[in-house]
Structure formats: structure tokens, C-alpha cells
Amino acid sequence: MADPSEFELLGRVTIGQYMPTGSVLHRLDPRAKLCMAAALVATVVVSQSLLGLTVLLLAVLAALALAHIPLRFALAGLRPMVPFLLLLALLQVLAIPQYSANARVLWRWAVLTVSDRSLIAGVLLILRFCVLVLSLSLFSFSTTTTELTHGIEHLLRPLQAIRLPAHEFALVVNIAIRFLPILAGEAERLMKAQASRGADFGRGQRNFIQRARMLLPLLVPLFLVSLQRADELAEAMEARCYLGGKGRSHLIQLQARLRDYVALSIMLILAILSIHLNAIQADQVLWTWLAKNLSHLL
């Protein structure tokens, strides 16, 4: 069977799409979701513990199930990043031993060394990355861009005191996100049009310059069209008397409910648990326990 979606750009990139399943997660206040996402990202970055990250990964998987999003669809967003991820993990595995004094060397060849520490670091990197991508996918699957904009604007509002233009900032984010699928659709159309004239994207042995030249028929019209679109958007906004955030009221008034506080509390508990596991060095405890029992078995 021939690949029927040779040009379907949107079909491959699942991250950044909204999936209206109407679950509890979809109905959460966007501010709560933004705070949860920020807390999760911070915890993931801070945590050095395999156990802590596994807890977070399981939590994200549970949340995906709660949001009625098929795991296969969520994982599709991870797939294109797998090669990079493996490369990064490999670099991590090879680079760490040089900086760690009390690591046990497992394997050595010329300048390359692999130790127990570095293997753990590689696994940590992969885990961390999976949690990040899955949680951000989940966020975009369950939050419309309008909700996101409102959430950002509300959260940034206190910063208006120091003259941060909260509304404008939120609008920029909104437009950038809103235009992504449009640009992807445009790129798809152009690729098809140029392919109809015999263009061949991505295949064949060519050097770098030829490859870059091959993209011109796609990039030049794409830029022209987006500039034109930006111009039209600005005009359409001015035609409807847009003057920026000052004195602007909102159609949707955000209201925090009980479920938002519950969700935030769960997130907080997870974050504390994960960092606590890190602090008490639960991994070491687990390793020693495993080592003792495995040697017992052997």
C-alpha cells in the first residue's frame, strides 16, 4: 500500500492540536492547567530520581486516560523525536563518567567510558523528555488557544504593575499558536502544487546546497503568503476598532471551581512526592535493596 499521506503534514504532528473529548481535564480552569504545567516542568527539571520521574510519568499517563485521549495518538507526537532523544541519551552516557568521581566504571574503550552513573543519567534524560512531551501534548490536547490566551493574560495581570503588557503578550501567543495549523495547511498546499510540477521534496542523493534550493519553491511563497496574511489580520483588527488591552472586557469570565483546587492540590502532592523521593535518595535505597535481594537469589 502506497503511503496515502505523503503530504499530510498535520496528520503527523499531533502535539499542539486540540482534541475535543469534553473530559474533566478539558473543563478545568486554564489558569489551573497553566500552573500545573509550570509546576510539572519545574519538578521534572529538578528531579534527579528515577523513582520520582516514574511517579510523574505514571501520573501523566493516568491524566491522558482521564482526558479520554488514546495513548497511541499521544505517543505519535513523541515518535519524530526518538532519534534525537537516543542521540542525546548516548552523549549523556558517554560524557557523565568524566565528571563523576565515585562512579563505578562498567565499560571502557579508548577515551569512551560508561559507568553506572552515566547509564542512570541516560535513562533519566529519556524519562524526563517523555514526561515533558507527553504533559505538554496533554495540555494542548485539552486546552483551546482561546482558553490558553485568557489563562496567560489573567496570570500575567499582576505584572502589569511593573508595566508588562499582559494583554498584548497573550495576544501574541494566541496569534502564533493559531497560525501554526494554517501555515502547515498552506505548506501542504504548496508542496502539492510544486509536486504537481515535478518537484521532489526530500528524496534522492543531493548535496546541502541542492537540498536548500529544493526548498525555495516552498519557502518563498510561504513567506509571501504569511506576510500578506499578517497584514490582512492587522487591518481586520483595526477595522473592528482594536486598540489593545486597555479597558477591554472579556466574553469569558474565568471562575475557579472546586475541581481546579483539587487538581492543583494533586499536582502539588505529586511534585512534593517526586522531590522528596529525590531528597531521601530513594533510588540508592532501591538499588541496595535490589542488590541485596538479587544476590540472595543468585
Partner 1 sequence: MSEPAAPLEAGQPALIRVMGLCHTYLRGTPLETPALHGIDLLVAPGEVIGIVGPTGSGKSTLLQHLNGLLRPQGGEVFVNGVRLSDPQADVRSVRQQVGLLFQSPEDQLFERFAGDDVAFGPRNLGLSADAVRERVRQAMEMVGLPFEYKDRLSTELSQGERRRLALAGVLALQPRVLVLDEPTAGLDPQGRQDLLRFLSVWCQSPGKAIVLATHNMEDIAELCTRVYVLREGRVILHGPSREVFGQCELLRQMGLAIPVAAEAMCRLRQRGYAVAGTALTIAEAAAALKALIHG
Interface residues toward partner 1, by CB under 8 A = 1-8, 10-11, 14, 17, 19, 21, 69-70, 73, 76, 189-190, 192-200, 216-218, 220-221, 224-225
Residue 283 CB, nearest approach to partner 1 (Å): 37
DSSP class of residue 91 equals H
For residue 108, which phi and psi values (nearest 5 degrees)? -140, 135
Distance CA 289, CA 191 (A): 57
Question: In the complex with partner 1, which residue's Cβ is closer, 90 or 216?
Answer: 216
153 CA to centre of own chain = 21
Q: Are 47 and 56 in contact (CB under 8 A)?
A: yes
Closer residue to partner 1, CB minimum distance, 229 or 259: 229
CB of 193 to partner 1, least distance (A): 4
Return the number of the residue (13 or 41) whose C-beta is nearest partner 1: 13
Element (H or E) spanning 113, and its range?
strand 112-115
Smallest distance from partner 1 to CB 8, Å: 7
What does the radius of gyration of the chain's CA atoms come to, in whole angstroms?
Answer: 24
Nearest distance from C-beta of residue 232 to partner 1, angstroms: 13
46 vs 224 by CB, closer to partner 1? 224
Cβ atoms 184, 225 nearer than 8 A: no
Identity of the residue, 204 or 247, whose beta carbon is nearer to partner 1 in the bound complex: 204
Min dist CB 24 to partner 1, Å, is 17
Cell numbers for 174: 494566541
